[in-house]
Amino acid sequence: MRIALRTIVAVAIFGLCQISALQSSLAQNYPARPITLIVPYPAGGPSDVLTRILAERLKTALGQTIIVENVTGAGGSIGVGRVARAAPDGYTLAIGHVQTHVINAATLTLPYDVVKDFEPVSLLADTPQWLISRKTLPASDLKELIAWLKANKASMGSVGVGGPTDLAALYFQKQTGTQFQFVPYRGGAPLIQDMLAGQIDIAFGQAANYLGQVRQGQLRAYAVLSRQRWWAAPDVPTMEEAGVPGLYASFWHGLWAPKDTPKDIVVRLNAAVVETLADPAVQQRLKDIGQEVWPRDKQTPAALAAQQQSEIAVWWPIIKANNIKGE
């Protein structure tokens, strides 16, 4: 039986209209049930604590329960991969950062695309990296530290292999002509323990993770890897002020939905995030853990997409040039 072309076209148009109507209905009723936020790292870590602070306030903004689920492994790629495969209905979202949505794509073989398979929702909060050492290391500032590193066989602790701290360290080595041994750890806690015990010389890491020990004089901070001094430790110079220009690295967090999530749902989620981040209580709780909310003009899907692309442009060439492979 031959079917007229115009009949086929009419059926196709009808189907598209039905899909559009369904998406519109979903968006109008969103959210109608609990939302799951996937944290691709263990409970109790920086990403998890940040997410739980936000989830508590997002519950009010969205009028629905927010379930925080830790799906760990492979540098965060397992949890992020689950969101990439989730239904694009706004009920399964990913919290991620420079590791999960930039670095992993260049160091691991992923079954998803970190750019094409997600809809950006908003930048959330940010904490810089900084360069620290054991308190007994005989260097009082960055200039003395560089001289000491050139004269001694030093060790640098890093979390995992091929992550943000490793990339910052490689950039630092190239700019300063220093060399040191990379010592990988499975988490920040054992790294800090070994530094406090004097078994590791230096580390690049999330400034928030080491703030308490630096303030107590148990560790020494030489420079922060940001364009301005960090509000939580204003006495610590930027890397550029200390003599190493161009090294900027932070752990910025963002919120993503699966690809093809309806625009109206992304807009609804973004509005809820903006409301949450404007809450003074939320801002203070984030500051208490060393995280700072991004400015309002950066709390947009476009700003998150731009941040991701700018970081890709910085770090992917370094990863390729050094043939870095992730765990």
pLDDT digits (tens, 9 = 90+) for 133-153: 999 999 999 999 999 999 999
Which residue ranges make up each domain of the chain? 32-126+251-321, 128-224
- Predicted local confidence at residue 18, as pLDDT: 53
Percent pLDDT > 70 in the chain is: 92
Q: Which residues pair with 131 in a beta bridge?
A: 204, 223
Of 14-28, 89-103, 113-127, the poorest mean pLDDT is in 14-28
Instruction: Give dist(CA 52, CA 295) in Å, integer.
Output: 21
- Averaged confidence pLDDT in the chain: 92
248 pLDDT more than 90: yes
Paired strand residues for 36: 67, 92
* DSSP H/E element including 284: helix 280-288
What DSSP character marks residue 113? -
2, pLDDT greater than 70: no
Provide the CATH number for the domain formed by 128-224 in this structure.
3.40.190.10
Least confident of 98-112, 185-199, 303-317: 185-199
Please tell me if the domain spanning 32-126+251-321 has the same topology as the one spanning 128-224: yes
Angle of the 164-176 helix axis to the 301-321 helix axis, nearest 10: 60
Euclidean distance between CA atoms 318 and 181, whole angstroms = 18
* Average pLDDT score over residue span 274-292: 96
Q: Tell me the CATH number for domain 32-126+251-321.
A: 3.40.190.150
Give pLDDT tens digits for 75-92.
Answer: 899 999 999 999 999 999
Q: Is pLDDT above 80 for 130?
A: yes
The secondary element (H helix, E strand) that includes residue 23 is: helix 5-29
Model confidence, pTM: 0.87
Report which of 80, 84, 70 is spatially closest to residue 41, judged by C-alpha positions: 70
pLDDT at site 186: 76
Q: In the prediction, which pLDDT does 168 show?
A: 95
Q: Are 325 and 143 in contact (CB under 8 A)?
A: no
Cα angle: 227, vertex 80, 88; to 5 degrees: 110
Average pLDDT over residues 69-78: 94
Query: Which pLDDT value is given to residue 194?
Result: 96
Instruction: Please say if the pLDDT value at position 21 is more than 50.
Output: no
